[in-house]
Structure 1
Amino acid sequence: MEFIDRALLSSYPNAPASLRYTVYFVTFIGFINLIKLGYGTLDLINRHFIRRPKDLMKTYGGNDTWAVVTGGSDGIGEQFCKDLSKKGFNICILGRNEQKMKEKLDQIKKQSGKEIKTRYVVADFAKLTRISDYENIASQLRDIDIGMLLLNAGWTQATPFIDFTPENIEATVNINAVHPAYLSKVLVNQLNERKQRSAIIITSSGLGSIPASGFITYSASKAFAGFLGQGLNFELKKKMDVMTFECGETRTKLMGSRKSRMIVDDISRVTTGCLRDIGYESLTYGCLTHELAMIPLKIFPLRMLQSMMFKASQKTFAMLQKKEAEAKKQN
C-alpha cells in the first residue's frame, strides 16, 4: 500500500481519501483476477497435458457392464460408442432409426477388438414428453448393469425464434432438455444401487453458456442440460460422477465439406478429451481447441456476440428457405 500511496501522492499531492481507497480496491480486484488467471492457466495445463485419465472400466465397469448412449448412431454419440467398446464396455444405443442402429452396432462390435455385447432401444426423443414414456425405456434396461450413461442426443436448426415452427420448438426442447432430465430420473436409482460407481455424461453446447440470439431455443435448452449435469454432480457425488460436456463444433460426416467460422476439431479428439475428464470435473469442454474457443464468449460484450449470431442465423435461415423453394419448383 505504501508504494501505491507514494505513486498516488507524486501525481496527486492533494488526493482525497476516497480516491486512495478506490485505488486500493481496484488494485485488490486486479490482484485477485491475476491469481485466478494464473490458477486457470495451470489447471488447463494439468488437465490437458499432465493429469492421467481414470481407468473407466476399473472405475465404472465390471464383468458385464454396459454403456448406454443416446444418439449413438451418428457423430459424437457414435464415437463415444467406439471409444467405450474398445475399453470393454457393452454398448446399448437409444435412437429412432432401428436399421441404422443395427448397422452401426455391427460395425462397432467388429472394430472394438473386444468380446462385447450390443443392443438397442428404439426411442424418438423429439416426440417423448411424459416421464411415463421414459419409464417404458427404463423397463427395457432393467436387466443390464449400466456403468455409464451418456445423454448425447441433440438437435438444432439455425432459425430466428419468430420463424421457428411450433413442431421444431417442441423437438428442440424435448431432445435437448426433456430427454436428459427424464432419462436421468428414471435410471438414477438403478445406477445408484450399483456396488461400483456410475457415470453420467450430459452433452450440452458452448452456446448453452450465453443467450445466443438466433439459436435461442437451442441455447436455452442446452443451458438447462448444462446446469442439470453440474448440479447432479454435487447431489449424487457419493455414488456417481456426473459431468456436463459443453461441446463446440466438431468435424463429422454430417458436416461434410461445409466451412465454418467456428473452431472445429476432429471427433476422436473431442470424445477422448471428454472421457479424460469424467470423474474429475463437473464441466468439460473436451479438447483444448474447444476450451480456447470459449474465451471470446466470456470476454466479448454480450450484445456484440448476440448481434453476430443473430445475423448468422438470419443468413442461414434465408439459405434454407431458398433451398426449400428450389426443391418445390423441381417437384
Structure 2
Amino acid sequence: MDSLTNVLAHVPKAAVVSFAVIGFIFVADRFISYVRLLLSLFVLKGTNLRKYGKKGSWAIVTGASDGIGKEYAIQLAQKGFNIVLVSRTESKLQALAKEIEQKNYLGTPIQTKVLAMDFSKNDDGDYARLKALVDGLDVAILINNVGQSHSIPVPFVLTPKDEMKDIITINCIGTLKVTQIVCPGMVQRKRGLILTMGSFGGLTPTPLLATYSGSKAFLQQWSTALGGEVRSSGVDVELVISYLVTSAMSKIRKPSMLIPNPRNFVKSVLSKIGRVGGAQNIAYTSTPYWSHALVQWWWEQTIGTGSAWIIEKNKGMHQSIRTRALRKAEREAKKA
C-alpha cells in the first residue's frame, strides 16, 4: 500500500486529473446510453404510422401467410391499412384475406390483394405480376418479412447447395426486387416506410448458420445504405433486429421472457417505429422488443457483438441443437 502511495505521489497532478476526467466521461456516456435505452423502450412513443399514408392507404407484407408476417398483416389492418399479402401458399393467403376483410377494423372495410409466389424460384414473371398488382396503389408501408434459415444448424462445408441458394435468393434477392418495385412510388409521393426484418444472426456472426447469418448481415448493410439514400425523399427505412420469436422458422413454440410470440413482437415493432431501442450504434436500425434490446445493449457495452467469446458461445449452442436434431432424425428413421 505504501509503495502504491509513493507511486501515485510521483504522478503529475495533470495526469491524475486527465485520467479522472476520462473515467467520468466514460461512465457518463454509459449512463446516458442506458437512460436513452430505457426511454426508448418504455417511455417514448414511436412514429405514428399515419405519417406514411392516409386511411385506406396500402401496406405490403411478404411472407404473410404465417407467424410474424401474418401478424404484421393483421395489426396493420387493425390500424386501417389495406393489405397486399404475398407469400408462397395460396390457400393460407386467401384464408387470411377473408379473415381480415370480415373483421371490419375501425368500422371501415379493409381491402386485400393476394399474390402467391415462391421467392426461391426467382421468377421474373412473379415480380412482374407483383408490379402489376401494386401499380397505382398508394403504398405507404412495405414489410420485407419473407425469409428462410437452415433446416437445422449445419457446417458451411456440409450445407446442401439448394438450401444455400434458397437462403440467398429468398432473403437477399427477393427483398431487393420487391423493394425496387415499391420504393420508386414512395419516393415520388415523398412518404413511406420500408421495414425489413433483420436478426441477431446478422448482428453476431453465427457458426453453423453461416449462410443465413451472412444473408442477414447483407440486409443490415443494404438497409442502412438505402436509408441514407432515400431519407431526403421522405421515405423512412428501418431494419428490425430480433432474437428468437416463436414461429415455424425458429421451431420454438413456447414463449418466454426472451422469446415472445409473434403478436407481442409485432406490437412492439409497430409501436416503436423510429425508436432505436437496443440498436444505438447502427443507423436506420432498431431493436424494439425490450428483452432483445437489453441483451444487445449489454453485449455492445461489454464484450462486443462480434467478439470471439460470443462466436464460440453461438457455435456451442448451435452444435448442441444440431446434435439433438440429428438424433431425432435417426430415431424417426428407425421407426419408419
- TM-score, L = length of structure 1: 0.85
* Cα shift at 1:167: 0.8
CA distance in 2, matches of 1:260, 1:86: 23
Q: CA deviation at 1:69?
A: 0.4
Does the CA-based 8 Å contact 2:245-2:255 persist in structure 1? no
**Which residue of structure 2 lines up, in the alignment, with residue 248 of structure 1?**
243
Structure 2 residue identity aligned to 1:291: A
Q: Is the 8 A contact 1:135 1:186 kept in 2?
A: no
Identity %: 23
> 1:249 and 1:40 mapped to 2: Cα distance?
24
Shift of 1:106: 1.6
Match of 1:74 in 2: 66
Pairs within 5 Å for 1:216-295? 216-238=210-232, 239-252=234-247, 263-279=258-274, 281=276, 282-295=284-297
| Counterparts of 2:173 and 2:163, CA distance in 1 | 14
In structure 2, C-alpha distance between the alignment counterparts of 1:30 and 1:283, rounded to whole Å: 29
1:93 aligned partner, one-letter code: L
CA distance in 2, matches of 1:134, 1:89: 22
| From 180, 185, 196, the counterpart of 1:185 | 180
Distance 1:25 1:173 in 2: 50
Give the AA of the match of 2:291: T
The question of 1:139 aligning with 2:122 is answered no
> Alpha carbons of 1:264 and 1:156: their partners in 2 closer, same or farther (altered >3 Å)?
same
Distance 1:313 1:44 in 2: 29
Letter matched to residue 119 of structure 1: K
Mapped to 1, the partners of 2:275 and 2:235 lie a distance apart of 11
Q: Which residue of 1 aligns with 2:325?
A: 320
Report the Cα offset of residue 318 of structure 1.
Answer: 2.8
1:265 maps to amino acid? P
Aligned match for 1:83, one of 75, 100, 104: 75
Where does residue 3 of structure 1 map in the other structure?
none
Give the match's secondary structure for 1:190.
helix
Alignment counterpart, residue 208 of structure 2, candidates 209, 214, 217: 214
Counterpart in the other structure of 2:26 = 33
Larger deviation, residues 221-230 vs 137-146: 137-146
CA contact (8 A) 1:249 1:262 kept: no
Q: Report the Cα distance in structure 1 between the residues aligned to 2:329 and 2:32, rounded to whole angstroms.
A: 50
Q: What is the aligned residue count?
A: 318
2:90 is aligned to 98
Q: Name the SS for the 2:207 alignment partner.
A: coil
Do the aligned partners of 1:161 and 1:214 also contact (CA within 8 Å) in 2? Answer: yes
Q: Residues 218-277 of structure 1: CA distance to partner in whole angstroms, max 9, x if unpaired?
A: 111111112222222221112201101001211347767656999212322311221123
Q: Please give the root-mean-square deviation of Cα atoms over the aligned residues, in Å.
A: 2.9
Q: What secondary structure is seen at the aligned counterpart in 2 of 1:12?
A: helix
Structure 2 unpaired stretches of 5+: 277-283
Indicate if the aligned counterparts of 1:72 and 1:93 stay in contact, CA closer than 8 A.
Answer: yes
Q: Tell me which residue corresponds to 1:46.
A: 39
Matched, 1:119 2:113: yes
CA deviations on 1:165-197 (whole Å, 9 max, x unpaired) are 111111111222222222212321122112x51
In 2: Cα distance, 1:29 partner to 1:168 partner: 50
Whichever residue aligns with residue 128 of structure 1, its letter is N
Contact (CA 8 Å) 1:151, 1:201: kept in 2 or not? yes
Residue identity opposite 1:206 in structure 2: F
Deviations 1:140-185 (A, max 9, x none): 3213221100001111122221221111111111222222222212
Question: What's the offset of the Cα at 1:136?
Answer: 4.6
Match in the other structure for 1:11? 7
Match of 1:5 in 2: none
TM-score normalised by structure 2 residue count: 0.83
2:59 and 2:139 in contact (8 A); partners too: yes
Query: 1:300 maps to which residue?
Result: 303
Tell me the distance in 2 between the aligned counterparts of 1:215 and 1:297: 20
Indicate if the aligned counterparts of 1:214 and 1:313 stay in contact, CA closer than 8 A: yes
Partner Cα distance (1:260, 1:165) in 2: 30
CA distance in 1, matches of 2:299, 2:126: 37
SS of residue in 2 equivalent to 1:120: strand
Question: Does the CA-based 8 Å contact 2:65-2:96 persist in structure 1?
Answer: yes
